[in-house]
Amino acid sequence: MSSIKENITNFKNRLPEHVRLVAVSKTKPAEDILEAYNTGHLIFGENKAQELKDKQPGLPKDIQWHFIGHMQTNKVKYIAPFVSMIHSADRYKVLKEINKQAKKYDRIIPCLLQFHIAEEDTKFGFDWKEVKSMLESEAYKNLENIRLDGVMAMATFTEDMEQVRREFKQLKQYFDRLKSDHFSDDQNFKEVSMGMTNDYPVAIEEGSTMIRIGSAIFGARNY
């Protein structure tokens, strides 16, 4: 089996310039993260607030931690002091809590709107109408300590890459409409976070700017 170092280097060499890599290190120990970090990679993704809170203090301070998992509002405070981006803002209530915690630490936390595009109903996320009505509400305008940088979604877990492609196209369309309706003057609103180990080539073809890769870098996870 190839090493983490080889995996991540190969990945980065093959990626188009406009696509950033989030190395998803959930369940993996500090040694594995350091092996990836020592190649010069800085962006890592975790999906559990408690796990991230426990790992972060023992690892280099210039790591940019991206949170990609479903967030319980009472756990936002664990990561608010240091998190670089939250990909999984999937309801108004969680954005409100991120805003509150960010304010406490005098920060502005970049977030992505997570859309529900998959067929399974187990995946979290906004639908289009919810996002539109939130963006038009007064309540949203008062959130001064968050910044919306784009959108994120997970496709259905299936071998059917045509279905996956349709779902990614849908997300890119949502992004384009939001960009022109609400963020045309906002240079920060530019991210489309889509693509994982099994579907990233399709995601890149459909306009991804950030892929989130775990197993192809760190190997299979043992839960």
By the criterion CB under 6 A, which residues form the site for ligand PLP? Answer: 24, 26, 47, 68-69, 154, 196-198, 212-216
Q: Which is nearer to ligand PLP, 36 or 154 (CB)?
A: 154
| Nearest distance, CB of residue 90 and ligand PLP, angstroms | 11
| Nearest distance, CB of residue 92 and ligand PLP, angstroms | 20
Residue nearest to ligand PLP (CB): 214
Indicate the helix (H) or strand (E) that contains 102: helix 92-104
Q: Which is nearer to ligand PLP, 8 or 154 (CB)?
A: 154
Q: Which is nearer to ligand PLP, 48 or 172 (CB)?
A: 48
Distance separating alpha carbons of residues 148 and 188, to the nearest angstrom: 8
Which residues lie closer than 8 Å to 10 by C-beta, 6 or more apart?
2
| Nearest distance, CB of residue 215 and ligand PLP, angstroms | 4
Q: How far is CA 137 from the centre of its chain?
A: 24
Q: Which of 45, 40, 9, 4 is nearest to 27 (CA)?
A: 45
Q: Which of 33, 15, 16 is nearest to 24 (CA)?
A: 33
Q: Which is nearer to ligand PLP, 85 or 213 (CB)?
A: 213
| Nearest distance, CB of residue 82 and ligand PLP, angstroms | 19
| Cα three-residue angle 68-164-223, rounded to 5 degrees | 45
Distance separating alpha carbons of residues 55 and 138, to the nearest angstrom: 37
Q: Which is nearer to ligand PLP, 69 or 110 (CB)?
A: 69
- What type of residue is 90? D
| Nearest distance, CB of residue 137 and ligand PLP, angstroms | 27
